[in-house]
A = this chain, B = another copy of it.
Amino acid sequence: MSTLDQPRPRRVTITDVAREAGVSVATVSKVINERYGVSESTSEKVLAVIDQLGYQSSLIASSLRRKSTRVIGVLVAEFEPYSAELLKGISAGLDSTGYELLAHAGSTGVHNHSGWERRSLSRLGHTLIDGAIVVTPSMIITDETTIPVVAIDPHTGPDGPMTVDADNVTGARLAVDHLVGLGHQRIGFLGGRPDLRSAALREQGYREALHAAGLSVSPDLIRVGGYRPELAEAPARELLSLPDGLRPTAIFAANDISAIKVIEVAGSLGLRVPEDLSVIGFDNVPEARDATPPLTTVAQPLHEMGRAALGLLLELLEGKETERHLRLPAELVERSSTAAPSSD
């Protein structure tokens, strides 16, 4: 009963169809691709055999020969909440464009983490996919030899590929303004992945908001988190282990996943959220609402961003001139993880 008992069943190939129909492979290929120059009767016969044998052309084999495949790739490091939301948006926009979607999780294991998208791009590009949407790339994609690409939440650095992102500065200001409005004075910042532009912009927004409120920016209250729970834990603990009076009464975490980790660490330290500590995140992934307490955050329009990236890519593929950079608005979503600081 094991799969290995019998010699792995062979797939039905174009050759099988040709033999069965008594024509050449070339003819079958023409029928499949509706090429000009094949008689009605032959065509029908071939189609019948195809149906009977349940033949489907191999995407791989035809990709190798053709220049275009009409499939667009979504390249992510892994399928976590952020990329999953984008994927929903991209998928929704795909409806009747005639393109198929292939999403690839490229970052296998810990090694070769950085540069996964260059690797995916090389391995899939020029053959399997016509263009790609890459999510939070780990480096600048600027190689002239790659296929058309649009990046979502792009890498820092000089002008690279086309990009789609949210208004991170304004979003961060919204977050901090909210905290300030609540009466917080010592507001900590748990940063994101230093190589991503979004992380830098969110920190910038944090600083601007503090200045605007006449509060000083203290390096003691700023830590690097890295957007991932494992990377956020230690710095969160540092921040929350500061002595009373120095410890921040609120923390703005650069993304929701980190913010949720902050809540967790606070709990382990005996701090109640929001009574003893206010926490605010960024992104508004579904998980933010599931947190205890539900996380106040800054929402990025993830679905729209995915859809927009797809739109840009499609225009690029059709050779149209388009915007090189699209920025969508972010907005505050108040839930229960933020409150006025306790006055004692």
Contact = CB atoms under 8 A, between A and B. Distances in A.
A58 B8 CA distance: 24
A105 B101 contact: yes
A99 B126 CA distance: 22
Interface string A72-91: 00000011110011011011
Given A109-B95, A122-B11, A101 B127 contact: no
A2 B321 CA distance: 7
Interface string A86-106: 011011101110111111111
B11 A125 contact: yes
Interface in A101-142: 101-106, 108-110, 118-119, 122-128
10 contacts: A9-B145, A9-B146, A59-B128, A79-B101, A84-B84, A84-B88, A102-B105, A128-B128, A286-B289, A286-B290
Contacts of A124: 59-60
Given A2-B319, A12-B145, A106 B100 contact: yes
B109 A105 contact: no
Given A79-B101, A104-B100, A58 B11 contact: no
Most chain B CB inside 10 Å of its own CB: which residue of A11, A57, A67, A321:
A11
B64 A61 contact: yes
A91 B105 contact: yes
A127 B61 contact: yes
B144 A56 contact: no
Given A88-B79, A103-B103, A109-B96, A59 B319 contact: no
A60 B145 contact: no
A29 interface: no
A314 B280 CA distance: 40
Contacts of A286: 286-287, 289-290
B126 A56 contact: no
A316 interface: yes
Given A3-B148, A9-B145, A87-B84, A64 B60 contact: yes
Contacts of A81: 88
Contact of A126 (B3, B54, B58): B58
A317 to B, nearest CB: 8
A161 to B, nearest CB: 11
Contacts of A54: 118, 122, 143
Contacts of A87: 79, 84, 87
A93 B313 CA distance: 31
A61 to B, nearest CB: 6
A90 B122 CA distance: 24
A10 interface: yes
A60 B128 contact: yes
B58 A60 contact: no
